[in-house]
Structure 1
């Protein structure tokens, strides 16, 4: 099954180049190519899009602005002439970051990542529940949301504590929090996000999960109490 793709770039030359590569690839289907965020957003909202080739610097709204306005995002491959945004791209769970001008070989390697990710998602057993993908140790890792116990900040990384162990991921707390369901997870401290269902006990200072005490920021006890009440 082909991946439905959209190409977004305000440069006509670069947009045509990427669109041509998409059309020539046997596993891709070009749904449309656009020069701005507004037209792209309308397309994504009205059609089933699997993969987005996205420029960053565009008039009026940037590629990042476009993604910020989407509740559900397709897989993303950024395409840019600058390397300055590569680190920020991790916040949007980008599959790859292509530098202009894009070569066919580099393009196909990025597309292969998208194909593999799509296959992994289809192979997920329904009984395991919802899941997300993160990049850990240069590999895409599938993590089931209900197995996450808590998440903690670790410099430029985050540590995701699950039933299986701990995973170190390059991301910000804010970005990762947006990937989690708000009714199941609560940010109780600038450095901690907890799975509400995993809380065993708490007081005004800490919440305890699997024997680990997690600090609560000021006034977070009430938020946690309300969240727990809403879960019962």
Structure 2
């Protein structure tokens, strides 16, 4: 079972992601967090295989949030930004998905890809 945590300041988006996981057989969304600080504390505590995280959030953006983690799970950044913003950042993310492109099939495929690539 692949475990995931989602951090996004949009509660409706977190509900959408949760509904996708209801249909996945080999993946479990163990928690969702609209607050990045609470989300990171749960990542440290629960050690998910994959972290789904938004780029733009109040208080801490996605990169600042990830910078607080010493040991990182696989990272899937999901954002409304048109371009993948990793060129100017040193922090590595495993996959980037635009929110407008996200479907339950794309999310499932992306999570499977980041897990398979780590083997």
CA distance in 2, matches of 1:85, 1:59: 19
1:1-232 to 2 correspondences below 5 Å: 2-88=1-87, 91-101=90-100, 102-118=102-118, 120=119
For the pair shown, the structure with the greater C-alpha radius of gyration is 1
Q: Which consecutive unaligned segments of at least 5 residues does structure 1 have?
A: 121-232
1:44-83 CA-to-partner distances (Å, cap 9, x unmatched) read 1211211011001001111111111111001000000112
Query: 1:218 aligns to what?
Result: none
Taking only aligned residues, the RMSD between alpha carbons, in angstroms, comes to 1.9
Partner secondary structure for residue 53 of structure 1: strand
TM-score (normalizing by structure 2): 0.87
**How many residues are matched?**
118
Q: Is the 8 A contact 1:95 1:110 kept in 2?
A: no
Q: Which consecutive unaligned segments of at least 5 residues does structure 2 have?
A: none
Q: Is the 8 A contact 2:86 2:93 kept in 1?
A: no
Q: Which has the higher contact order (CA 8 A, sep 6+)?
A: 2
Q: Is the 8 A contact 2:86 2:92 kept in 1?
A: no
CA 89–97 in structure 1, closer or farther in 2 if over 3 Å, else same:
farther
Q: What is the CA distance between 1:89 and its match in structure 2? A: 8.3
Partner secondary structure for residue 107 of structure 1: helix
Partner secondary structure for residue 30 of structure 2: strand
Of the structure 1 ranges 106-115 and 81-90, higher mean CA displacement relative to structure 2 is found in: 81-90
CA distance in 2, matches of 1:66, 1:15: 17
Q: Is the 8 A contact 2:75 2:95 kept in 1?
A: yes
Q: What is the CA distance between 1:112 and its match in structure 2? A: 1.9
CA 64–90 in structure 1, closer or farther in 2 if over 3 Å, else same:
closer
1:72-129 CA-to-partner distances (Å, cap 9, x unmatched) read 00100000011244334874332211111311232122122123134x1xxxxxxxxx
**Bigger proportion of residues as strand:** 1
